[in-house]
Structure 1
Amino acid sequence: MNSSIDTNSLLLQLRAMARDAGIPSTDKPSSELTLGADRIEFSKVLENSVQQVNGRSIEATQLRESFEAGNPNVELADVMIAAQKARISFEALTQVRNKMVAAYKEIMSMPL
């Protein structure tokens, strides 16, 4: 069984998720991302993604509560769309976490 990770595929998936999360992309090669004054830290990107997923969840909850309270300005369709956005965002974040754990396990199992 071959459990190697295709790094190019993983990088493309992460870039697509970052774009969907509203994180601006850069066209610089990865070697330039870690050098210079405009250094992008992975932890900050991950933190921003978690905050955006949390924000979508809070927004969906607030819309649901407003609809349940009888607010005439809140449509059922808006509530359902916000709930689906929150669910999909959470699932995407979960997939990123799963990929990171798999990559970590693969690195840890490499012989020295």
Structure 2
Amino acid sequence: MWIEPVTAGAGMLQEMQALAADAAAIQPAASTDEPQVSGAAPADFGSYLSTAINSVNQQQLDASSNQRAIETGESTDMVGTMVSIQKASLSFSALVQTRNKVMSGLDDVMNMGL
């Protein structure tokens, strides 16, 4: 088994630094789902969580209204209704999994011995 010396990775380090500089120069496009923050202050986790909950709630409401429209005969868009129901279901599942991960991380932090 051959192990390369540390000095052999110098070229890779320079390439990674160049890629990091390129990535820092690119500004991401503004998304409508993310909360808008003024100035250089980062958005807190609570605002992201609130935005996610509101988005999931809106998808649930849209799916419910589409389903009601199908049931009452106001709409015949069965495919669109099924897609909106599946989107709402997946969004809710992702939100629950995120909550579970956050709670698990919080439990781990609380159980740490200092």
Partners in 1 of 2:112 and 2:56 — Cα distance? 33
* TM score, norm. by length of structure 2: 0.65
Partners in 1 of 2:45 and 2:108 — Cα distance? 19
Counterpart pick for 1:22 among 33, 47, 60 = 33
SS class of match (2:90): helix
Structure number with higher relative contact order (C-alpha < 8 Å, ≥ 6 residues apart): 1
| Counterpart mapping for 1:93-108 below 5 A | 93-108=95-110
* TM score, norm. by length of structure 1: 0.66
Counterpart pick for 1:86 among 85, 88, 99 = 88
Partners in 1 of 2:97 and 2:34 — Cα distance? 17
Moved segments of 4+, more than 4 Å: none
The letter of the residue matching 1:76 is M
Number of residue pairs the alignment of both structures matches: 81
Partners in 2 of 1:57 and 1:86 — Cα distance? 5
What residue is the counterpart of 1:32 in the other structure? none
What residue is the counterpart of 2:13 in the other structure? none
Structure 2: gaps of 5 or more residues: 1-31
Partners in 1 of 2:107 and 2:113 — Cα distance? 12
Q: How far did residue 39 of structure 1 move?
A: 1.9
What residue is the counterpart of 1:111 in the other structure? 113
Identity %: 31
The letter of the residue matching 2:112 is M
Q: Which structure has the larger Rg over C-alpha atoms?
A: 2
Partners in 2 of 1:75 and 1:100 — Cα distance? 38
CA RMSD of aligned residues (A): 2.1
